Structure formats: C-alpha cells, structure tokens
Amino acid sequence: MKKVSVFLALATLLAFSIFASGWMLDQTTGGIMPTNNSYKYGGTVVVVNSGLQTPFSINPLSPQAQLPVVPEIYESLFYINTISGEITPLLGVNYKWENNNLKLIVEIRNNVKWSDGTPFTANDVAFTFNLIKKYPAFDTSGLWKNSGLQSVEASGDTVVFDFSKQNTPLFVNISGQYIVPEHIWADIKDPTTFTNTNNPVGTGPFLFKSYSPDNQTTIIVKNPNYWMNGRPYVDEVEIQNVNSNNTTLLMMLKHEADWGSSYFPDIMNIWVNKDPQTNKIYWPVNNFNALYLNAQKSPFDNSTFRKAVSIAIDKNDLEQKAYFGIGGVANPTGIVPAQLDEWLDPTLTSLASELNTYNPQKAQELLASIGFKKNSAGQLTDPNGKVLPTFKILVGAGWTDFITQAQIISENLSQLGISTIIDQAPWSAYISSLMSGTYDMAICWGVSGPTPYYVYYQRLNPAFSASKIGESALSDYSRYTNPLITNALEIYAQTSDLSLQKQAMYTIERIVLDEVPFIPLTTRTNFSNFSAAKFVDWPSDSSPYCAGGATNGQGGEIILLNIHLK
C-alpha cells in the first residue's frame, strides 16, 4: 500500500475561502456526519497509545504535560482537515476577512453551554486569546509574537481579530486554538502552572472522569448536555498509555483495544490481513519525519557539516526498514508528495535529488573541506584535531519506527567516524529536551499544513526560536533562523497572489537545500489503526472525514463524534 494525502488544489481552495469578502461557511457540520438516531448508542471505546505518559495535567493551553483527552473536553473554533481542506465549524460557525485582510471576524455558535451549565459566549473566545497574549509560554503556534495580531475583542455574537499587517495564514492557527471559560480561568493566579485536574470545564463532547497514574489510564464519559444533539453515540472512552508500540499491537490483536495510534511495522501483514473485515487502518501521508540537528551546538552549527550528515544517511534503506515502503522517502525541502507539483521550484529538482542520494564518500569529502577528518583510529576529528564527542540521537521511548531510524542513522554516521548513542526518553522529557535545546540530534515530525508555508513558519520562524540553549524554542527545534526566510514568510502572509506566494516559497526552498536546517527522512503518515469488532464508521481512504490521528489531536474529537456501535 502506498497512500498519499490528497492536497490537490488545496492552496487555491483555502486562498479563495480566506480572501473572499463575505461569510465563508454554510451552516453544515463539515467532517461530522449527520446524526442518525437509528444508530446503536452506548459502549466504551478502548484506546491504546504508546510513549505518551505525561504528568497529570489537563491544561489545554499548556505546550507540555497534557493528558491525551484535551480535544474531547475543550474545543476550538474550527477543525481544518489537512487532507481535504474541509473546514468543520465547532465553536465558530462562520468567518470573513475585511479591511484589506486586516480584520478577521468570526461568528460564534449560539446555545452552547460549558459543562458546568454556564453559557458559552464570544467573551470566552476573546478572553482565551488575550490570556495567551498575557502568558507567552502558551503561544506555541505564534498567535501574537510577530504575527501582526493586535487585538481580539468580543462584539455581540462575533469575535473581531484586528491586525497591523496582513497575515491570512494565521487563520489556521486561530481556528485550532482551544477555548477556555473566562468565568473560571480569570480567577486562576498562574495559569501556566494550573493542572486543571479538578473537574475541568469545557464545551466538548466528553467530561473528565478519572486518571490512574499507576496504570496510566484516563477515562472520559459522554457529556449529556453537549451542544450537538444526539452526539456522541458512545458513552465512555478509556485511554491506556503503554510503554511501546509492540504492546499496542498485542492489545489490538487480542481485541483488548478498539483504536491505536502507533506505528506497526509491515502493517498489512501483521494487522490488516489477519482479519480484513475487522482490522482497519487509515494512514494518510500529510507530514514528514526529520532528523533535527541542534544548530546552537558545534559542529551542527555548520551548514556543510549538516549537509554531509544528510547525504551520509541511506534514506531508502531507512524507509524500507522502518515503514516497509508505506510512504516513501521525504523530499529534502520538507514538502509532502502531493504538494510537490504545485509548490516545489522546478529548478531545484536536481539539487533536491542530490541531497537525498546516499553518498558517504562525498559526505566524507565535504567534512574534509571544512577540516573534519578521520584519525588513525577511524574517529572523526574537528579542525583542531580533537575527536568529536559521542552524540545522542533523541527519540521517544518505545517508538519503534523512530528507534529503527535512529539505529540506521547511527550505523551510517559511524562510517564517517561519528559516534552516536540512542537516547530513548518518555514524552515529557523528549519534548522538553527539544524545546530547551539540550539535545544533540533528534528524530521528530515536521508540521502539516495545506501549503509548505506552515512547515517553514513553525520550524524556521525566529519568533519560535531561542537565542541560547536552555531558553524555550516553541517550535523551531533546530534553532536555525535566516533573515531571508523570515522575509519570505512575511511576503507570503501579506498577499493572496498565488504566484507571489510561490516565489516566496521558492526562496525558502533554495535556502533549505543549501543550509539544511533539518534533514527530512521519510514521509509521515497518521498511524490510525482501528478495530471494527465493536465500533464502525472509522475514517478511511474512502471516507476521509478527518486527517486521522490520536485522541490528543483535533481529529480525535471528530472520530469520537462519528463512530458508534455496530
């Protein structure tokens, strides 16, 4: 199987929807299928995740330490399906741009109540965005920092976002921001340390019931007063966090779990083909996995060194052994396959191919050109003749696909005389090391979005970087910045002209290929594995109503609103 996300014409679709002058959505439910009261209600959905153990927190604004149930308890304004571009209205029902794209107006949903019975209003939305402004640690998607967003105010049943400069791509970030209740959060002394574990109040389809730190199990139950009549169909969701993908697979095979969002090697043979009528998968490609090199540490601060590392990695071997040909090798620009025809500068095709070609001999030559040579023991030394230290490759504990990739990369780099060890860390330590810049090398995913802009905006924007190790970089994990890239991002955000947006992306693509701020390895799919033994209407290639994913992503809420007992 080789599944590639269908992004065709998505950029044009979103550009039209963003830049037209009137209200942009009809009053449909988007990716949420119409309620069918003849469906069988009830049941407990058992979800199993690997490597997601976190401290006990349900703070929807925190970039770290959240139990994997936030999207089911808290909701955003809209859900954007990055595969189809379809926009599902949630707490927002419509939106429009005015004043030459300097004002965004969002119409909020009426007759919604918080789970404690308090009415939801536009004031809650404005409060949430202004709370994020007050506490920058919450601003992981760059809603305020250098975005041009000046103010967010409630006006009747609408919320008005005023900008000092055009930044229409920010609509995606605004859409996905979880909203919190003002009547509760206004009284919290320090929301950045608030764990929110005592009866969290949200608008979502589920309510928090319990969490057991001993077995890492979280239980949420149906919200009987959810604003969408007749939904959800299921009564309860039990999310179990386990140590490895292998444990997840065993639980799925034994029908002890209905849903797992973990990578399984050779998925068709070890899962689907064992019972094709029951064992389902939904693995759409919409992202990439990358090796991030900490550019604030030597020798990773040298672009030639980074390029040598890239061509020293046998990405075809890595992809086959980690993913069995499911998605393919990633393009070194970070552009996903379905966007290449539309967004890759055609003059860069050969350069991109060269950077993806396994060539350890040329890698050694590149290293020698900047003074890095092997000594008599075969160890790589720096220009001063000092043997390089043993570097750590950071991966998530139990993530078998990342571990496999790290093992191959370690073997490849050993041919250059570079010594590495694999550092498996639980989720909280893993993301903390990425954000604080204490890692050497790390395997992590890229960023998904309807155009390459969102990848570069999140991963190369100085607003999300940090000036020194120890300071938090919200999403520029490589800590690489370039003023030319920053300028190109601003040009893209200021215009609705597709040709100008492409030229801005072409500029960034060339720099990415020349400077190698991160090394795309393989395409990344959403690893959604489902059992139809008890529940049906899971997303699939034939019914891609969401982009898949786990319960800790927005797609999780959409899935749990659609599935029901057989």
Q: Measuring CA to CA, which residue among 159, 212, 202 is closest to residue 181? A: 202
Q: Measuring CA to CA, which residue among 554, 541, 525 is closest to residue 30? A: 554
- Say whether pLDDT at 518 is over 80: yes
Integer Cα distance of 196 and 199 in angstroms = 7
- Say whether pLDDT at 291 is over 70: yes
- Say whether pLDDT at 278 is over 80: yes
What integer pLDDT is reported at residue 110 of this predicted model? 96
Residue 288: what are its φ and ψ, rounded to 5°?
A: -145, 155
pLDDT higher at 7 or 379? 379
DSSP assignment, residue 387? B
What integer pLDDT is reported at residue 67 of this predicted model? 83
Assess contact for 89 and 25: CB atoms under 8 A.
Answer: yes
What integer pLDDT is reported at residue 286 of this predicted model? 84
Q: List the Cα angle 319/320/324 in 5-degree steps.
A: 110
**Tens-digit pLDDT profile for residues 90-148:** 999 999 999 988 999 999 999 999 999 999 999 999 999 999 999 999 998 889 988 99
Q: How confident is the model at residue 534 (pLDDT cuts 50, 70, 90)?
A: very high
H helices of 344-472, in order, are: 349-356, 360-369, 400-414, 427-436, 453-460
H helices of 146-228, in order, are: 170-175, 182-185
Q: For the chain, how big is the Rg over CA atoms in Å?
A: 23
What integer pLDDT is reported at residue 51 of this predicted model? 67
Mean pLDDT for the stretch of residues 436-448: 95
Among 95-104, 259-268, 458-467, whose mean pLDDT is lowest? Answer: 259-268
- Percent of the chain whose pLDDT exceeds 90: 77
Mean pLDDT for the stretch of residues 371-377: 97
Residue found by looking up tokens 């065993």 in the block: 250
Domains and CATH numbers, the chain: 1-30+75-196 (3.90.76.10), 285-525 (3.10.105.10)
What integer pLDDT is reported at residue 52 of this predicted model? 59
The residues, any chain, with a CB within 8 Å of residue 384's CB and separated by 6 or more, are none
- Say whether pLDDT at 265 is over 50: yes
Q: Which two tokens stand for residue 122?
A: 């536009």
Predicted model pTM: 0.75
Q: Which two tokens stand for residue 151?
A: 């103010």
Question: pLDDT averaged over the chain?
Answer: 91
- Say whether pLDDT at 263 is over 70: yes
**Tens-digit pLDDT profile for residues 300-354:** 999 999 999 999 999 999 999 998 888 899 999 999 887 899 999 999 999 999 9
Q: What is the 3-state secondary structure (H, E, C) of 515-530?
A: HCCEEEEEEEECCEEE
The residues, any chain, with a CB within 8 Å of residue 151's CB and separated by 6 or more, are 160, 161, 162
Integer Cα distance of 110 and 122 in angstroms = 9
What integer pLDDT is reported at residue 264 of this predicted model? 83
What integer pLDDT is reported at residue 392 of this predicted model? 98
CA distances from 193 to 65, 80, 180, 464, 548 (A): 10, 29, 15, 21, 30
SS3 of residue 153 by DSSP: strand
Highest mean pLDDT among 23-27, 49-53, 62-66, 423-427: 423-427
- Say whether pLDDT at 84 is over 80: no
What integer pLDDT is reported at residue 13 of this predicted model? 37
Q: List the Cα angle 450/95/540 in 5-degree steps.
A: 40
What integer pLDDT is reported at residue 366 of this predicted model? 98
pLDDT higher at 548 or 109? 109
Strand pairing report for 236-242 and 217-222? antiparallel
Strand pairing report for 158-163 and 103-108? antiparallel
CA distances from 89 to 33, 78, 80, 139, 233 (A): 12, 5, 9, 23, 19
**Tens-digit pLDDT profile for residues 389-416:** 999 999 999 898 999 999 999 999 999 9
Mean pLDDT for the stretch of residues 192-211: 96
CA atoms within 13 A on the CB side of 31: 30
**Tens-digit pLDDT profile for residues 161-179:** 999 999 989 999 999 999 9
Highest mean pLDDT among 254-268, 302-316, 323-337, 549-563: 302-316
Integer Cα distance of 337 and 448 in angstroms = 12
Strand pairing report for 279-282 and 87-89? unpaired
Mean pLDDT for the stretch of residues 194-223: 94
Q: How confident is the model at residue 17 (pLDDT cuts 50, 70, 90)?
A: very low
